[in-house]
Chain A
């Protein structure tokens, strides 16, 4: 079985003029980009549009890609910027998002699914109240699960800045939840006491 070509190899081919090879890269990463855009508060009906914009930007600046960093980090960066631009230009409120039943640890029950759906919608609204430059590291750290180093690279900021923004973003989220969405507070009070 032939192995899949590496990202760097594909990028080299695209830069050499084989545009059709870019399709492989798109198909490989479109789920990551679409999910990141959704988690940044882009409505589902606009996801494809934003993803296309992201991949088009990637194609245009492919020559500037540095292979020592993962392509996914670069994609996160472009996606976050595209999502922030989109939200700035449309100024739409975060809407209730549908949940995809793709739990890795088994499918949730219908009740739990409905409850999660509702909570996700409210959380999007709560996140929408946080300024964009605080929201982006929060999403990348606690929803996308990226390590600090990768977030710093994706947002082109020093790690110290990311840390302080994360502290501030979490404090803001807690305050917003307490004030506007008390139902979202996690049961059992899992607040760190460290």
Chain B
């Protein structure tokens, strides 16, 4: 290490001499059992339970079988209700039919209104397009004239401004 450069630093030799009694201190312990026990406990906690492949197969097959059985039960229950003309099923069917009827009428109305609007506006749009095609050269000429007028206006303004500046009385003159 280097020579002392800070004020107040008594230096390395002083520190070595002063701290000598602490250098004689040593300690020992047996940390291995506790550490290894902790590591093993943690490893066991995250390791999944050993399950045999046969148990996995049984679990899969039984799950699929139960799913199929549940679905079959549901379908058969629905069939029994429909075939047996259950009151609730009848109401659901009539409600569904009424909803379908309402939706169909509404759709028809919308389609009719759209067709009418289109048939009314289409001739007008056609005429407007024809008019635009005829008037196009006139519009182009008008546009050119307007642009030329704009340029003339800018040139005239510049001329007026420059002249006014030239003739303006000077401060202190």
Contact = CB atoms under 8 A, between A and B. Distances in A.
Contacts of B17: 186, 190
Given A141-B1, A192-B4, A52 B34 contact: yes
Interface string B1-27: 111111111111111111101111111
Interface residues of B, number: 38
A78 to B, nearest CB: 13
Chain A, interface residues (CB within 8 Å), range: 35 or more
B87 interface: no
A110 interface: no
A143 B24 CA distance: 9
A37 B27 contact: yes
Contacts of A30: 28-32
B31 A52 contact: yes
A76 interface: no
B36 interface: yes
A144 to B, nearest CB: 8
Interface stretch (B38-46, B131-139, B140-148): B38-46
B83 interface: no
A123 B18 contact: yes
B35 interface: yes
Interface in B27-65: 27-32, 34-36, 38-40, 43
Interface stretch (A4-12, A84-92, A159-167): A159-167
Contacts of B26: 31, 35, 38, 100, 102
